[in-house]
Amino acid sequence: MADIRAFLAMKPPSDVQASLANLQQSLRPFLPLVNWVPPENIHVTLKFLGNIPSEMVFQLHDLLKEVGPQRSVFMLAIQGLGVFPDLRSPKVLWAGLAGSVERLIELHDQLHLLIEPLGFPLEDKAFHPHVTLARIKSHWREVGAVLRERGSIQSQEVVSEWLIDSFVLYRSELSSSGVHYDPLWTVPLSRSSAN
């Protein structure tokens, strides 16, 4: 069976996607040189798995479904803007996350530890929760200068918030119309206040 390109993530609901689309729209006139992520593709990545054998989809589900009852739902909010790696040569424009970020980090760390024995090494850099708004392929200095000039990067306004009640394994597929993310399985988080 063929390999698939996959990642673990959480996708914002449609109203948060709409808020992020409005944020992108407000920045577009100042940043014509960047590649904007379609709002329907925006997500919070927990782990990029790369190309995996298709049979591993079921193996991962069997392993990670046990996490759901152990982790209770929590709230996240979109807040602030930033870039990777820095304003001198930005490659990614992102929106930051606020709310129960520590719960998100705990979930991230648990998933990484569970799948390490399957051949997914632990990452050596710290997890920086965010959603990617745009990728910057060229004209880095110009884009960095615009962002510095506008002071957009310091914006701390809360755009929207949502309830994190599950995480999903997505398949990433490239077609002539762009990249599409198909959910393969979902693990719901516990709604019990005892957790």
Domain boundaries, the chain: 3-188
Q: Judge contact between 16 and 162, C-beta under 8 A.
A: yes
User: pLDDT digits over 133-175, tens only?
Assistant: 999 999 888 888 888 887 766 666 777 899 999 999 999 998 8
Quote the pLDDT of residue 80.
Answer: 87
Quote the pLDDT of residue 118.
Answer: 95
Higher pLDDT, 177 or 54: 54
Whats the size of the chain, residue-wise? Answer: 195
CATH of the domain spanning 3-188:
3.90.1140.10
- Whether residue 67 has pLDDT greater than 90: yes
Residue 29 gets which letter from DSSP? Answer: G
Q: Judge contact between 13 and 76, C-beta under 8 A.
A: no
For 40-64, what is the mean pLDDT?
96
Higher pLDDT, 143 or 69: 69
For 110-121, what is the mean pLDDT?
96
Quote the pLDDT of residue 194.
Answer: 45
Task: Pull the structure tokens for residue 66.
Answer: 């046990």
Q: How far is Cα 51 from Cα 34, in angstroms, rounded to an integer?
A: 27
Quote the pLDDT of residue 193.
Answer: 56
Write out the H or E segment, with its range, that includes residue 101: helix 101-115
Q: How far is Cα 62 from Cα 55, in angstroms, rounded to an integer?
A: 12
Evaluate if pTM is beyond 0.85.
Answer: yes
- Whether residue 195 has pLDDT greater than 50: no
